[in-house]
Structure 1
Amino acid sequence: MEVDKVTAAATAAPVSAPAADDATPKAAAPITLADIKRNIGFIVRATESNQHRLTLRAIRNTTAIRTRVAPAVLKEAVMAYVPETHPARAQMLETLDALPAPAVEAAAEPPSEAASMEVEGEKEKDPAAPEGAETPEPAKEKWEEKLSLAAPEVETYVCMLVLAVVLRSGGETGALLPLANALLARVTSFNRRTLDHLASKVLFYCSLAHERAGRASDMRAPLLALHRTCCLRHDEIGQATALNLLLRQMLSQNLLDQAYKLASKTNFPETCSNNQFCRYLYYMGRIGALQLDYTDAHAKLTQCARKAPANTALAFRTAVQRLTVIVQLLLGEVPERAVFNAAGMRAALAPYLQLTQAVRLGDLVEFNAAVQQNKATFQADRTYTLIQRLAHNVVKAGLRKVNVAYSRIALADVRAKVRLDSDAGAEFICARAIRDGVIDASIEPVEKGAGGGAARCLRSREQGDLYATDEPQRAFHRRVAFCLDVHNGAVRAMRYPEDAYKRDLERAKRKGALEDKTEEELAKEIAEDMDEDGAL
């Protein structure tokens, strides 16, 4: 919501008064039944012409409607477009009657104009025009006929709008579950491809209602059945939505093994929407991070961050960035400072910046202090389990700094610099770091003075020439493999002309007919020549 502009008082020099348009905020036009009818017109035309883009246009326009529509207007839409035989019609009307009327906000964003909601290339009168407009009788009859053909789609759209508005009102969610179950059963009883996008939205809102009521596990069996049905019907948007909802529920309930098995046994549809694909990449990245597959998790999270919408979905992009930062730290990399200064994310990523600084410095005490200070935030973000694994990375970063700075150092000094508990623990950690290849050093005994006994120290080996090893070859191989993957993906994404093979077949048939005709003409000429020779 925009902030009202305040005019500063004149002090030294007189300031001209602002214009009336700048001083007074524009009042938002109320949502009427005509706005809902306009979207219904898109759905009717989408059903008639089998163009999913019109259905998606109606769904995009619904965002402005569901945020400001009054329950009375929505009740009129239910009475006008939901048949009386609908099993949940009476329950929808009762639920809408119980909702409070929304307060009209003066500074709210005005709704999109009717011209912006017109379908490109269509200049005809909108069949879903307001009731006050004069419409010829033949046009009305044609509109009623089209509306009857698209009755399941229109009914599903209105039910989706009711679920969205009731969930947004923040009322009693438990009372909404019977309505959500009834609407879901009604929508899944149809088998129409023009209904797929609307049915997926109803499925999402039903799952959200169960999640807010604390009964998300009740939707697991229906979602699995719906996913199987969508796979059999080639309903790609429904298949993607059901899969993402299942992964979301399993991860929220810490069912990591089940989520991993489900993801490994299913395939995400390639031609699905970008938003669903971003959600799938996020869930797969989270599964990979919890399964200790940090490389694959980082690749998926990076791809998700690139494909996510740039101007919207700030909360989703922030969640992706939080998880990406932790995975990078677990990989031994330090994120850039610009990541934490992104627009709208600075406050949310401030605790993770403290963690990054502690890991970069290798200070175990500072790391533990940052974790204890922001423990509630990490638990709310569901990243506390991954952050607990970073303690070993902090120790390894400290050992790298010691290994680079000293050619030989006593283990007691290593313990003091890395801030470990005991000398024995420092020796064990150094031995493990040497075995894992974190540092290139060795642990050697050192003789003290007379009667002092023996001590042990960490001796660093001299750093050789990196180009004398096979590391450049491995790095070059990784880059070549990445370029080949990009090339193969581009080749698979190419769209060839439809029915190109048919044109080749027709050309081959014409060529074959021409060859056959030529042979017949040659045979006739030979026969005529033989007759002439016989006559002579």
Structure 2
Amino acid sequence: MTAPVEKDTDVTMSNTEPSSEVEPLTVDDVQQNFAYLEKAVSNFDPKYTLQVLRGLPALRKRITPSVLVKVIESAYPVNEPSRKILLSYSGASASSIEDDSMDVDEPLAAVSILPEVDIFLHLLVQVWLLNQNEIAKLKEFNDYAIQKLQSYNRRSLDYLAAKVWFYYSRTKELLKESEETAPLLLAALRTATLRHDTETQASLITLLLRNYLLSQQVTKASNLVAKTVFPDSAGNALVARYFYYLGRIRAIQLDYSAAHEHITAAIRKAPQTQLAGGFLQTANKLNIVIELLMGDIPERSVFKQPLLEKSLVPYFDVTKAVRVGDINQFSETVAKHAEALKRDGNYSLVLRLRQNVIKTGIRTISLSYSKISLKDICIKLQLDSEESAEYIIAKAIRDGVIDATIDHQHGYMQSNEVLDVYSTTQPQETYNDRIKFCINLHNDSVKAMRYILNNHRADLEDAEKAREREKELANELQEGTDLDDDEADFDI
């Protein structure tokens, strides 16, 4: 089972160069990001780094070679080795790089650039090369960027490192070299775990799961999930991806109930906007197949959402065939949409629905006929033999799909009288499932809340310490005054 290759929606950009008035504004925006990164380091507050990364999708569409050259030249000292390397990958001409290096007659004093700014500039070059579809150059540059990233050991690089690793893995995937990246990603995951870099750790786990699913190594993916702990404080985007891959693994392993819970959580965690449209479409496709495998029929409203309607047409046709229980219609539908299902990575899961179609057909027959021969069931469901029909009916009776008995001697199925559903445990089980879903939703909502830091408590503690210090000083002054009075009696 292969994981669907999600479209990189941000890569599509206008090829038109921004005007001379827009370029200075873009340079100012990048330099403003430098200020945010410096503030994040000085205040030990990652929210400023997150602010920089949130603006990256909009900024990457305005990046041009001239913008990159200007920001690189303004950020690095002339004698910095990274300056020349970044300029060579940013589209600057070789002559300008040589002229730039000849401007200084004497070696300058060592001026260190902030590591966060350094890695952010590497990230901008990665994004620029990916936008220009220069995958070969991007592969070369990624090796240098990863080497530079591994030379630092700073907790404040956590969010930036997660992005650098993402584009590194994406490049390998575009070059069909995903299998080669697994050892390096595992080594990076061990390092991130030891350093407690939660965002990098979460990103690397999702990248490894995607890598294993693309190469159909489901066992390795399952072992990775069992032996790692996904960070609770990771961003919603990474949590949604993790739940999606976990749901796909469980679906392949026939654990449809757990898979449905994970996919539902992934859809709920993902942003309900156009920017996340590709992920929502992919997750809903898998969720529909899982619901059908569980024996449920998805609501029609799922297929009528504007963001999903066009992409869910093949799955709507499959759902109709399963709901009717017509094996011919199901086979024709699967053959018609085989290419789309294979492209989504759900073809093998859809093929498993054939047994569900047969069960639905048997349920329909049991409701329509009080007594029917096994031969007629074979004709209606197009089964190979009466023995196959007898086996399938017996399994449906055991699973509670139908309420009937089989007369093996005379070769027919006898349907029992339909009982009141409220006299069974089915309403109680359904109500319990809904309560469980609401409780999980409440718990996830509470965990997702972000509270303001308790700065006021720190201020109160500082004020209390200041008051205690004042009391001590007052006591010392009082004791000093008394001592001076005593010493005054001995003055001559």
TM-score range, shorter chain: 0.7 to 0.9
Secondary structure of the equivalent of 1:59? helix
Assess, with a 3 A threshold, how the Cα gap between structure 1 residues 429 and 29 changes in structure 2: closer, same or farther.
farther
Alignment of 1:126-525 (within 5 A): 151-171=114-134, 173-311=135-273, 312-444=275-407, 455-479=410-434, 481=436
Show structure 1 runs of 5+ residues with no match.
2-25, 100-147, 447-454, 508-536
Q: TM-score, normalised by structure 2?
A: 0.79
Q: Which has the higher contact order (CA 8 A, sep 6+)?
A: 2
For each residue in 1:182-222, what CA deviation from the matched residue of structure 2 results, as whole angstroms up to 9, or x when unmatched? 11111122111221111111111111111111212222111
The CA distance in 2 between the partners of 1:243 and 1:382, in whole Å, is 20
- How far residue 487 of structure 1 moved from its aligned partner, in angstroms, is 6.7
- How far residue 86 of structure 1 moved from its aligned partner, in angstroms, is 5.8
Aligned residue for 2:474? none
- How far residue 476 of structure 1 moved from its aligned partner, in angstroms, is 4.8
Secondary structure of the equivalent of 1:409? strand
Aligned residue for 1:30? 22
Assess, with a 3 A threshold, how the Cα gap between structure 1 residues 421 and 462 changes in structure 2: closer, same or farther.
same
Q: TM-score, normalised by structure 1?
A: 0.73
Assess, with a 3 A threshold, how the Cα gap between structure 1 residues 427 and 237 changes in structure 2: closer, same or farther.
same
Aligned residue for 2:40? 46
Does the CA contact (< 8 Å) of 1:176 and 1:209 recur in 2? yes
The CA distance in 2 between the partners of 1:462 and 1:204, in whole Å, is 59
Does the CA contact (< 8 Å) of 1:88 and 1:182 recur in 2? no
Does the CA contact (< 8 Å) of 2:243 and 2:263 recur in 1? yes
Which of the pair is proportionally richer in helix?
2
Which AA in structure 1 matches 2:401?
V
Assess, with a 3 A threshold, how the Cα gap between structure 1 residues 481 and 227 changes in structure 2: closer, same or farther.
same
Does the CA contact (< 8 Å) of 1:188 and 1:199 recur in 2? no
Which AA in structure 2 matches 1:355?
V
Assess, with a 3 A threshold, how the Cα gap between structure 1 residues 366 and 267 changes in structure 2: closer, same or farther.
same
Secondary structure of the equivalent of 2:90? helix
The CA distance in 2 between the partners of 1:370 and 1:381, in whole Å, is 16
Show structure 2 runs of 5+ residues with no match.
1-8, 10-17, 94-110, 465-492
- How far residue 260 of structure 1 moved from its aligned partner, in angstroms, is 0.4
- How far residue 36 of structure 1 moved from its aligned partner, in angstroms, is 1.3
Does the CA contact (< 8 Å) of 1:442 and 1:459 recur in 2? yes
1:72 to 60, 66, 77: 66
The CA distance in 2 between the partners of 1:345 and 1:492, in whole Å, is 28
- How far residue 271 of structure 1 moved from its aligned partner, in angstroms, is 1.1
Aligned residue for 1:5? none
Q: Percent identity?
A: 35
Which AA in structure 2 matches 1:286?
R
The CA distance in 2 between the partners of 1:417 and 1:333, in whole Å, is 22
Aligned Cα root-mean-square deviation (Å): 3.0
The CA distance in 2 between the partners of 1:248 and 1:361, in whole Å, is 35
Does the CA contact (< 8 Å) of 1:44 and 1:150 recur in 2? no
The CA distance in 2 between the partners of 1:399 and 1:298, in whole Å, is 25
Aligned residue for 1:534? none
Larger Rg: 1
